[in-house]
Amino acid sequence: MSEISDFRSDTFTQPTTAMREFMMRAEVGDDVFGEDPTINNLQEMMAELLGKEAALFVTSGTQANQVSINAHTQPGDEVICDYNAHIFNYESGAPAMLSGVQLHPIQTKYGHPTLEQIQQVIRPVEDHFAQTRLICLENTHNRAGGTIFPFHEMKRISKFARDTGLKMHLDGARLWNAAIETGIKLSDYSALFDSVSLCFSKGLGAPAGSIIAGNKEFINRAHYYRKAYGGGMRQAGFLAAACIFAVENHFERLQKDHKNARLLAEALSVCPGIKIDMESVQTNIVIAEVSATGKSAYELVAQLKNHDILAIPFSQTKIRFVTYLNISRSNVEKSIKVFQKIFK
């Protein structure tokens, strides 16, 4: 049986043998009572890494974002985000369902609203309007192709938010990738926000888990909402151990994924009918525009599957490819040969 190259998502990363062994040795306790030593260790480690007072281990990136939104807002508030943001497109309408807030999405380039765009949509303090309470940014940006939010623009938005009393949350599910690519410290990104979330189960390769960080008051509120959402875990130190191992062993290697994505993008960009916006290929995600091939993204994904290559149709005309720990350079090179054959 030939090897399958699975480019669907970095969530398909498999725990390594060393990670599994590290998990098995984890000391555990009841986390609802705050007595799981491995979870406590992870939370302290991440709070320090992000330069925040405290951190909270949660089950997923969606839970991290929704707990954070809930902790920052009250029903009837408005949250500003990008039109293609994960919280607007892929979290099941949870801001309305769980927090009772409405989202105000902005059309942007590469998923990065500018300060001026945000200023234009701030609601007046008047009874007819929902009140703007929170700004949510995403870095790196999934639907934009793993693009990195410009740090200088984040700083401008952060200063404006603090000057006007607005809260800031960063959906940093793939902030690891941004930090590795730019050399900007996680704590420098985090300092611009009241709360920040990061995933362990994507490029870092842990089987589950995300983290939220902020000041102690915020984390206390987040802890309440995590419990209310059914997110209280018991002896979950085994999962936290995987996250600790991932941070200590898989963070620095993300640069390899970026190089593989660039190699893949460059090869696809010269295939007839395929268009790649190379400016958007900044980390580990490649979005291929395929409308000029005369086939839909769904048809081409099915064709690729027949050659043991898996990818995600991102729309009728776009296919997403993601590189990660279990995609080797050999996988990329073999896939390129298939692309050249299919699209010649």
CATH code of 164's domain: 3.40.640.10
Print the domain residue range for 83: 17-250
> What pLDDT, in 10s, does the model give residues 152-172?
999 999 999 999 999 999 999
In this prediction, residue 329 carries a pLDDT of: 95
Is 331 domain-assigned? yes
Here the tokens at position 317 are 């005309």
Pairing of strands 285-289, 318-322: antiparallel
Q: Do 44 and 171 share a structural domain?
A: yes
Q: Do 237 and 286 share a structural domain?
A: no
Q: How confident is the model at residue 342 (pLDDT cuts 50, 70, 90)?
A: confident
Q: Do 46 and 69 share a structural domain?
A: yes
Q: Do 302 and 228 share a structural domain?
A: no
Q: Do 258 and 158 share a structural domain?
A: no
Cα separation of 199 and 177, whole Å? 11
> What pLDDT, in 10s, does the model give residues 90-109?
999 999 999 999 999 999 99
In this prediction, residue 341 carries a pLDDT of: 87
In this prediction, residue 344 carries a pLDDT of: 74
Query: What is the average pLDDT value for the chain, to the nearest integer?
Result: 96
pLDDT of residue 218 exceeding 80, the answer is yes
Is 257 domain-assigned? yes
Q: Do 37 and 147 share a structural domain?
A: yes
The secondary structure of the chain, three-state, reads CCCCEECCCHHHCCCCHHHHHHHHCCCCCCHHHCCCHHHHHHHHHHHHHHCCCEEEEECCHHHHHHHHHHHHCCCCEEEEEECCCHHHHCCCCHHHHHHCCEEEEECCCCCCCCHHHHHHHCCCCCCCCCEEEEEEEECCECCCCCECCCHHHHHHHHHHHHHHCCEEEEECCCHHHHHHHHCCCHHHHHCCCCEEEEECCCCCCCCCCEEEEECHHHHHHHHHHHHHCCCCCCCCHHHHHHHHHHHHHHCCCHHHHHHHHHHHHHHHHCCCCCEECHHHCCCCEEEEECHHHCCCHHHHHHHHHCCCEECEECCCCEEEEECCCCCCHHHHHHHHHHHHHHCC
Mean pLDDT over 265-272 rounds to: 94
Count: domains in the chain:
2
In this prediction, residue 1 carries a pLDDT of: 44
Provide the whole-model pTM.
0.95
Is 146 domain-assigned? yes
